[in-house]
Amino acid sequence: MRSYGQRCASDTSGDPGTFSDLGMIPLHCVTRMLSPVRRRMKVVSALIGVLILASSCIPSEEHLSTVTPEGLTVIITYPSNTLTQVQSPTETKTPNINLASSETAYPTPEAGINMDKFSKFPESYEYLLNHLDEFVQAPDPLADRAAFDKWFNEELVLAVGEITHEREVDVVAGAYSIIGNEVQVGQYWDHSVQYLSLPQFFYFENQGVIYAVPVLNIQTLDYTPGKTNVTMAVILCDTKYWSATDGLSRLSIKDPFQFVSIFNVRMGDYTNINQFIDAGFIPVGDINDPKMLPLFGPGRIRFP
């Protein structure tokens, strides 16, 4: 059998045409000889195009197909896990937002005693019982000593003032003294007491009983004139012998008192007083200490 080139070389039926350099083979025969090569090149080009397409996207299936110029269908199979997703240049990725980690900052209330309430003095014990929300409430010193001590040292002292002589004077009175079973400030030598302002005030509750505590900054004339020398926070304790809570109404109208007392030892059958003494609430302090803490304990304010 003759080859395609031999047939073209012996072909005399057509126009001899122009001869090529290929052994004097007519040019049109050379063209016909190259046609299969061109077709194969087109198939290869199509396959290359398919490979380029496969490398630039992720197909929804594992098979890619194309049709060649010769009408042949070419199917190429790829493992689905070998293709890498290529992100479109116009695509914007949105970062994940963890809402659980996002916290809204809310303003926190100012720490410490409410000074408006602390500066308000009840007109009577009955008024206090009916308007407790208008006044400062301290932790119960008998039921929760740790909470009370923390409140006393971190809030009450700061509200009153750490420096004794810098505290605003409420009352000008006589001498500071320890007499028998109590710490006491009495009247001046002419039996006078001068109010410059009403005392500050707080209360606490123990076993359903409301205990009123006036906080008096007292200038004693026998120490540093013009300055507070001692602050007395008196737990007004009613007994079967007197009603200390009645003193609130007298203080509220600035009635001169005879003396202010805080007890420092147990007293007979004075149950209301003894429970605080037994718990360790005994007034102790040095009046010459520039940072003398307020004296706190059970007592009364006696009026003439």
Alpha-carbon distances of 196 from 31, 47, 123, 236, rounded to whole Å: 125, 105, 17, 22
The pLDDT tens digits of the residues spanning 124-162 come to: 999 999 999 999 999 999 999 999 999 999 999 999 999
**Does the pTM exceed 0.85?**
no
Rounded distance between C-alpha atoms, residue 158 and residue 136, angstroms: 14
DSSP string, 5-25: HHHHHH--SS----B-TTTT-
Per the DSSP assignment, residues forming a β-bridge with 232 are 216, 295
In the predicted structure, residue 50 carries a pLDDT above the cut 60: no
**Which pLDDT score is estimated for 127?**
98
Nearest residue to 184 (alpha-carbon basis) of 225, 143, 234: 234
Least confident of 17-31, 61-75, 226-240, 256-270: 17-31
**Residue 237, both tokens:** 């304790």
For the chain, give every domain's residue range: 4-82, 115-302
The pLDDT tens digits of the residues spanning 18-44 come to: 434 444 444 444 444 444 445 554 544
